[in-house]
Amino acid sequence: MINAFHNEAGVTFPQGFTAAGVKAGIKKSGNLDVAVIYTEKEAAVAGTFTQNAVAAAPVFASKAVVATGTAHAIVANAGCANACTGEQGEKDAAATQKIAAEALGCTPQDVVVASTGVIGVPLPMDKLEAGVKDAVSKLSADGSSAASQAIMTTDTHPKTAALEIELGGKKVRFGVIAKGSGMIQPNMATMLCFITTDAAIDSKLLQKALSKVVATSFNMISIDGDMSTNDMVVVMANGAAGNAPIVEGSEDYAKFLEALDKLCKELAQEIADDGEGATKFLTVHVTGTKTFADAKTIAMSVAKSPLVKTAFFGADPNWGRVICAVGYAGVPMNHKDVVVKFGDIPVYAHGVGAEYDAEALAKVMEQHDITISIDMGQGEEEATVWTCDFSYEYVKINGEYHT
Domain tally for the chain? 2
| Bridge partners (DSSP) listed for residue 387 | 282
Query: The domain spanning residue 325 has which CATH number?
Result: 3.10.20.340
Domain boundary (273, 299, 327) is at 273
Over residues 162-189, the mean pLDDT reads 79
Closest among 231, 221, 225 to 394, alpha carbons compared: 225
pLDDT tens-digit series, residues 15-48: 999 999 999 999 989 999 999 999 999 999 999 9
Long-range contacts made by residues 99-102, C-beta under 8 angstroms, separation at least 24?
99/128, 99/129, 99/132, 99/133, 100/36, 100/73, 100/75, 100/132, 100/136, 101/73
DSSP secondary structure letters along 137-177: HT-BTT-HHHHHHHT-SS-SS-EEEEEEEEETTEEEEEEEE
Question: Residue 387's closest CA among 233, 250, 270, 221?
Answer: 221
Both 102 and 236 in one domain: the answer is yes
Query: Catalytic residue at 289?
Result: no
| Domain of residue 151, residue span | 3-273
- Other C-beta atoms closer than 10 Å to the C-beta of 11 total 29
What CATH number should be reported for the domain holding residue 240? Answer: 3.60.70.12
Query: What is the per-residue pLDDT across 277-333, written as a single tens digit (0 to 9) for each?
Result: 678 999 999 999 999 999 999 999 999 899 999 999 999 999 999 999 999 999 999
Residues 323 and 178 in one domain: no
Please state whether the predicted TM-score (pTM) of the whole model is above 0.95: no
- Co-location of 66 and 163 in the same domain: yes
The residue from 18, 50, 116, 190 that is catalytic is: 190
Residues in the chain: 403
State the Cα–Cα distance between residues 321 and 315, nearest whole angstrom.
Answer: 13
- Shared domain for 179 and 246, answered yes or no, is yes
The string of DSSP letters for 51-65 reads --SS--HHHHHHHHH
Listed in sequence order, the residues at least 6 apart from 87 whose beta carbon sits closer than 8 Å to its beta carbon are none
- Reduced to 3 states (helix: H, G, I; strand: E, B; else coil), residue 214 is helix
**Can you state the percent helix, strand and coil of the chain, rounding each to 5?**
35, 30, 35
Distance CA 203, CA 353 (A): 52
- pLDDT tens, residue by residue, 361-403: 999 999 999 999 999 999 999 999 998 888 777 666 656 544 4
Q: What angle do CA 309, 312, 318 make, to 5 degrees?
A: 95
**Are 196 and 332 in the same domain?**
no
C-alpha span between 357 and 9 (Å, rounded): 46
Looking at the fold, whether 39 and 127 belong to one and the same domain comes out as yes
| pLDDT attached to residue 173 | 97
Question: Do residues 260 and 218 both lie within one domain?
Answer: yes
